[in-house]
Amino acid sequence: MLVLRDLQKQYTKFRLGYLWTLLEPLGMSIVLWFVFSVLLGARALGLQPYLLFLSVAILPWWWFTKGIAASTRVFRRAGGQLRISLLPTEIWVLRVLIVSMIEFLFSLPVIVVAMIVTRTWPGPLIVLFPVAVALQFVLMYGLSLLISAGCVVIPDLARIVRIVLRALFYLSPVLYSISNIPEAVRGLAALNPLVGVLGLYRIGFWPEEIEDAYGYAVSIGLSIVILAIGMIVFRRTEPRILKEA
């Protein structure tokens, strides 16, 4: 309950820029679509229509980057508030996560726009979309706990995270489809928990996309493991976090 109110406060800043939440990913999708589909004519990359293919994955990806990047500085920004806060410390992490998720949900009309432009409509498997959101939430919560706590102990971690995020963008099937990866390394690539998450987002549009359950199993398993580790680590570091305030 308290989180929501906390969030509501945070949110007043965003409302003005709501239009931007829409325009930013839309613009991004168009640019990438233009580069990869029109300029490079890479027909083999991803699935058709490419514009929709991109935007369905780019929105969750943005949520992921923003949430994780924000979690590197939660406690630096909390400052004095931590000194009087009687709320569980996890709330600070949860809050940035929810803020970024709401931004994501508000940017969903971009997919609708892409659907209209490309005249492609989702199949019945679109019901898995909320599942994908939930899975990503669990995964991100675990990671955020881990990273926010880690950044307090090792300040340099924030920079490492930024680089890793960059790398992860290309390592995850955002621009391409998992089927573009050579068979040999596909198993290795599927170890990335985002593979399953992004797959779940896309499955509604391309039911033929991923038939094997391997990627999903890895995603779900890893998300839970990361969440467990995150919670333990966070508990352990909590005294340190409080001291930084």
Partner 1 sequence: MARQKLTPGLDALLAFDKAGVRMPRRRRRKGDGRRQRLRRIAGEVKRDEVWRLRHATFSVEEGESVAIVGGRGSGREALLRLAAGTLVPDEGTVRRRLGVVPMIDVARSFVRQYTVRQNIYLVGGLLGMSPEAVTESLGEVVTFAGVESILDKYLGTTPPVIRQRLAWATAMSTNARAYAIEQVLIVGERDFRQQCWTRVDRMREDGVTFLLASDSPKQFRRFCDRAILLDEGHVVAQTTVPDAIARLRALRRADRPSPDEPDDSASGPTGDDQ
Contact set with partner 1 (CB under 8 A): 1-2, 5-6, 9, 12-13, 79-89, 235, 238-239, 242-245
Q: Minimum distance between the CB of residue 82 and partner 1, rounded to whole angstroms?
A: 7
Q: What is the dihedral of CA 173, 97, 30, 172, to 10 degrees?
A: -10
Q: Minimum distance between the CB of residue 84 and partner 1, rounded to whole angstroms?
A: 5
- CB nearer partner 1, residue 89 or residue 192: 89
Residue 221 sits at the vertex; the CA angle it makes with 217 and 223, to the nearest 5 degrees, is 120
Q: With 0-12 CB in 10 A as exposed, 13-18 as middle and 19+ as buried, what is 162?
A: middle
Q: Minimum distance between the CB of residue 239 and partner 1, rounded to whole angstroms?
A: 4
Read off the tokens for 172. 């995850």
- CB nearer partner 1, residue 9 or residue 43: 9
Read off the tokens for 49. 């229509």
- CB nearer partner 1, residue 77 or residue 166: 77
Which residues, other chains included, contact 155 with Cβ-Cβ below 8 Å and sequence gap of 6+?
none
- Helix H, strand E, coil C: the string for 152-220 is HHCCCHHHHHHHHHHHHHHHCCCCCCHHHCCHHHHHHHCCCHHHHHHHHHHCCCCCCCCCCCHHHHHHH
Q: Minimum distance between the CB of residue 162 and partner 1, rounded to whole angstroms?
A: 20
DSSP 125: G
- CB nearer partner 1, residue 9 or residue 166: 9
Q: Minimum distance between the CB of residue 20 and partner 1, rounded to whole angstroms?
A: 17
- CB nearer partner 1, residue 48 or residue 81: 81
Cβ atoms of residues 108 and 63 within 8 Å: no
Q: Minimum distance between the CB of residue 11 and partner 1, rounded to whole angstroms?
A: 10
- CB nearer partner 1, residue 119 or residue 243: 243
Q: In terms of residues, how long is the chain?
A: 245
- CB nearer partner 1, residue 41 or residue 239: 239
Q: Minimum distance between the CB of residue 8 and partner 1, rounded to whole angstroms?
A: 8
Cβ atoms of residues 139 and 226 within 8 Å: yes
Q: Which residue has the tokens 């945070």?
A: 10
